[in-house]
Amino acid sequence: MQLSTSKAFLVYLGEKVPNCFTSLLTWSTKRWIVAVSVGVLTYFVIALPTAVVENPIFGRDIAVTNWSVTVIVISSILTGLLTATYVKNEFSDENPRQLKIGGLGALLSYFAVGCPVCNKLALVALGYSGAIQYFAPIQPYLAVAGIALLMYSLRMRLNNEYSCSLPFQTTNKSIGENDGGN
């Protein structure tokens, strides 16, 4: 049994087995720079306004939950990787559906780690006590849903990296012209 890595696939016992993790091995430096940059930016875009990271501009009325930082880190990594899949490469797939699903996942993660009474939407809709009583208990579920959507989008993008990697063949024949084989 020999396990080695080729440029496009993981090779195991002579079989080519593409999957979402092996496509990461073929990423260019440009894609990794985009992934890290967007991941760090996402971390601060979520952590600063939700006051998970203390700062002089934003504050919280309710303490940060013990799982908030973990949710932000996981969401940031997945968002960075998902965004990097849109950097053009040899096998790029132009399907914006996964970006929309991933964007929804990042938004859910943002709402999941925010202060329930600092969220203006929850405050207007439910009031102060309603936000604590009804919105705060569902925040962990929002976090799980957000991360699940990001993971789904990233998996679909990575699996589709090589799904249609057939080279485009040109021909000099017109449409409807026979090739003489009939």
- Indicate if the pLDDT at residue 7 is higher than 60: no
Tens-digit pLDDT profile for residues 29-87: 889 999 999 999 999 988 888 888 888 888 777 888 888 899 999 999 999 998 888 88
Name 2's Cβ contacts closer than 8 Å, sequence gap at least 6. 12, 13
Residue 96, in any domain of the structure: yes
The domain in which residue 69 lies consists of 19-159
Helix (H) / strand (E) containing 3: strand 3-5
What does each C-alpha distance from 47 to 5, 44, 68, 84, 109 come to in angstroms? 37, 5, 9, 21, 11
Residue 173, in any domain of the structure: no
Helix and strand tally (H, E) in the chain?
Answer: 6, 3
DSSP per-residue letters across 111-169: HHHS-TTT-HHHHHHHHHHHIIIIIHHHHHHHHHHHHHHHHHHHHHHHHTTTTT-PPP-
Residue 120, in any domain of the structure: yes
| Confidence at 155, pLDDT banded by 50, 70, 90 | confident
Q: Is 65 helix (H, G, I), strand (E, B) or coil?
A: coil
Residue 99, in any domain of the structure: yes
Residue 181, in any domain of the structure: no
The bridge status of strand 15-17 relative to strand 10-12 is antiparallel
Residue 147, in any domain of the structure: yes
pTM above 0.75, yes or no: no
The predicted structure's pLDDT at residue 164: 53
Residue 168, in any domain of the structure: no
If one counts the domains in the chain, the total is 1
Q: How far apart are CA 11 and CA 138, in angstroms?
A: 43
Residue 182, in any domain of the structure: no
